Each structure stands twice: as structure tokens, then as C-alpha cells.
Structure 1
Amino acid sequence: MSMNELKSRVEGDQVLILERTFDAPRELVFEMFKEPEHLKHWWGPSGWDLPVCKIDFRPGGTWHFCMKCIDQNQGEYYGMESWGKVVYKDIIEPEMIRYTDYFSDADGTINETMPSSEITLEFVDLDGKTKLVNRAEYVSAEALNTVMDMGMLQGIAETWNRLEEHLNEVK
């Protein structure tokens, strides 16, 4: 297994844990999740852009964003928009970010029909490299299955590939 391969496992039946190691210092990897000018380079799967990225990075603050498919080869997804809203709970720089992740609309209204999740991101310092651990807790196994069926694992794998590319450009 290469160092930067995405590892995933399910704990219980409603917690998804994702891990990947990045060849970049922890402060820099943390920065990628904090600054809009970084996020818009890598957040979202391949072929998706981040035209809207409004972030208030503090406990109680929110991040409202829009991912838009700009890849014509993605067929029916081309031109599609996916809106999300994050509400930050805890931030310990550069170690941890805890937030609730929601689907939303363009006005920032939370979509109650879609599963939300409680996310904890951990940034582990490994001698100049960084292990990123993403723990996503859903209300039920059914809610986790819903997002898995939407292709979330592939989406995160592609997103973290883009994160690695961006880190290589800026470090």
C-alpha cells in the first residue's frame, strides 16, 4: 500500500473513518481546511469546482459552499450544483476540527431530508508528514448507507487526491 492511499473502515454501523497520510507539515495541511483560497483549489471530486466558499472559521461559525460540476465528460452531472453547510463546533489549531456537516441550498437553508453527519478531523504530526483522520458519525446505519450509495467514498478519495496535488504545488 502506498503511503498516501485512502484507508476506510466502518465502526459500529454508523461511523465512517477515513485516513490518509500527506507528505506535508501539519500546519500546512490544517491551513488547507481553513483558508478559502486553498479550499477552492481542491474541495470536491475531480471535475468539480467551488464557485461559492463563504467561511467563518471559528467555533459557532459556518462555512457555506457550492460545488459545481465543470467536466463535460461527467454527462448528467455537468452543470449540477451541490450546496453544503458546515457548522463548526471545536477548533484546536493545528490539531483538530469538529463540525456538523449538512446538505443545504443556495440560501444556506439546511436540507433536513438528507443525512447530516458529525465530523471530527484530526491532524497527526508524523515527523513532517501529516496523517489526516476523518471520523464521520451518522444518526443511523441507514443514513451512512445513503451517502455511501451516493458514491461518497470515491468522492472523498478524489477530493484528497486533489488536496495532495495542491499541497505539492504550495509547499
Structure 2
Amino acid sequence: MSENKVTHNMSTNVEGRVLFIERIFNAPRDIVFKAFSEPERLASWWGPMGWQTENRKFEFKPNGVWHYCMRCTDEKQGEFFGQESWGKAVYQEIIPPEKIVYTDVFSDQEGNTVDGMPEMLITMNFVEHEGKTKLITSSQFASIDALQQVIDMGVIQGMSSQFDRLDDLLIELQ
């Protein structure tokens, strides 16, 4: 399975059981990195449009846990309105302002992994690019089926939407 797509300044590519997403942000690398490493900033844009994120726990360090909840607050999103989506990340490697590596799972309110949902190993590289920042994300799954499950859930559309929200925050920060 290999598929290349470009939408809304974001390109995606699937190679085997890895999803690659690239996007260029019109901001210096250190500012983009802070949007991922500072809890208030991260919560202000993480999740698709119409969703708000609450950080239940945020430990930005190797073996640190980020436990969060995204809630749909947009009544226009029909059946999604009021829905919660819990997640838990465990940071593996952090090299400011260049790289973040973490595992990401769907969780419950207590941070327990939800059975039947894929686990991802995510590597984010922040690359200086002509005064801007190219974010290169690879999400590795245990199987092609697990990757397809997340694609079918709308991960690409969700990432595009949340990166639009990140664009708005970066404009405010400059």
C-alpha cells in the first residue's frame, strides 16, 4: 500500500505500515517546537476544528506521559458533538528544537489503553526550511490493517484540520 496525496499545504504518503505527513509552517523552528512542548500552547490547537483539548497530565521529558482528552464542542458536527476522545502519549526521545519521538495510544479517562485500537510510534522532525519550519511526521503501526483502521477513522483529515489551527496559533505568536 503506497499512496501520495497533497491537500491544504500538507502532503501524505503511505509506505507499508508507516504514514508520513509533511507540512511547512510559516514560523521559525523554535516557535513551532514550543507549540508541541508547552502544555498551554499544545492544548490551544491540538485536535480538529470544533474540538477542545484538555491536558490531564503533561510531562514533556523522556518516559514522560501526556494524557489528554479532545471534546467536540461544535454543535454543527452532529453526532460528534459532545463526544470525547482520550489519548495517551509516552515520550521516548526529545531533542529541542529538532525532534520528538513518542508512542501514542487511544486511552480511557484513567489512561488505560483501549483494546482493539492501534498503537502508533510517532517521530516528528522539525526542519529549518527557508525561514520556515518543515514538520515531517512518521507514524509507524504494528500492521497495515492497524494503519488502515486509523486512516478510515479520518486521521489525515483530522491532522490537516488541527494543523490549520496550529497555523492560527503561530500567527498569534509572531
TM-score by length of 2: 0.94
Shift of 1:127: 3.2
Give the counterpart letter for 2:80 in structure 1. Y
Count of aligned pairs: 169
2:53, 2:69 within 8 Å by CA — same for their partners in 1? yes
Q: What is aligned with 1:131?
A: 134
What is the Cα deviation at residue 40 of structure 1?
Answer: 1.6
RMSD: 1.4
Runs of at least 5 residues in structure 1 that lack an aligned partner in the other structure: none
Distance (whole Å) between structure 2 residues aligned to residue 62 and residue 112 of structure 1: 19
Matched residue, 2:14: 10
Match of 1:149 in 2: 152
Spell out, residue by residue over 1:72-122, the C-alpha distance to the aligned partner (whole angstroms, 9 max, x if none). 000110000000000000000100000001000001111132001000000
Once residues 112 and 51 of structure 1 are traced to their aligned partners in structure 2, the CA distance between those partners, rounded to angstroms, is: 22
Once the two structures are TM-superposed, the CA of residue 132 in structure 1 deviates from its matched residue by 0.2
Contact 1:40–1:53 under 8 Å retained in 2: no
- The question of whether the paired residues in 1 share the 8 Å contact of 2:55 and 2:66 is answered with no
Per-residue deviation, 1:133: 0.5
Q: How far, CA to CA, are the matches of 2:94 and 2:55 in structure 1?
A: 22
Q: 1:36·1:54 contact (CA, 8 Å) conserved in 2?
A: no
Does residue 1:60 correspond to 2:63, yes or no? yes
Are positions 1:79 and 2:46 aligned together?
Answer: no
Identical pairs, percent: 48
Alignment of structure 1 residues 11-26 onto 2, 5 Å: 11=15, 13-26=16-29
1:116 alignment partner in structure 2: 119
Match for residue 38 of structure 1? Answer: 41
Counterpart AA for 1:91: I
How far 1:128 moved relative to its partner?
2.0
Q: Distance in 2 between matches of 1:53 and 1:36?
A: 10
Instruction: Determine if contact 1:22/1:130 at 8 Å carries over to the other structure.
Output: yes
Structure 2 gap segments, 5+ residues each: 1-5
Normalising by structure 1, report the TM-score: 0.95
For 1:33, what is the secondary structure of its paired residue? helix
Deviation at 1:53? 4.3
Matches of 2:40 and 2:93, distance apart in 1: 22
Cα gap change, 1:98 to 1:124, in 2 (>3 Å):
same
1:126 Cα offset (Å): 1.4
Instruction: Note the C-alpha offset of 1:51.
Output: 2.7
SS at match of 2:167: helix
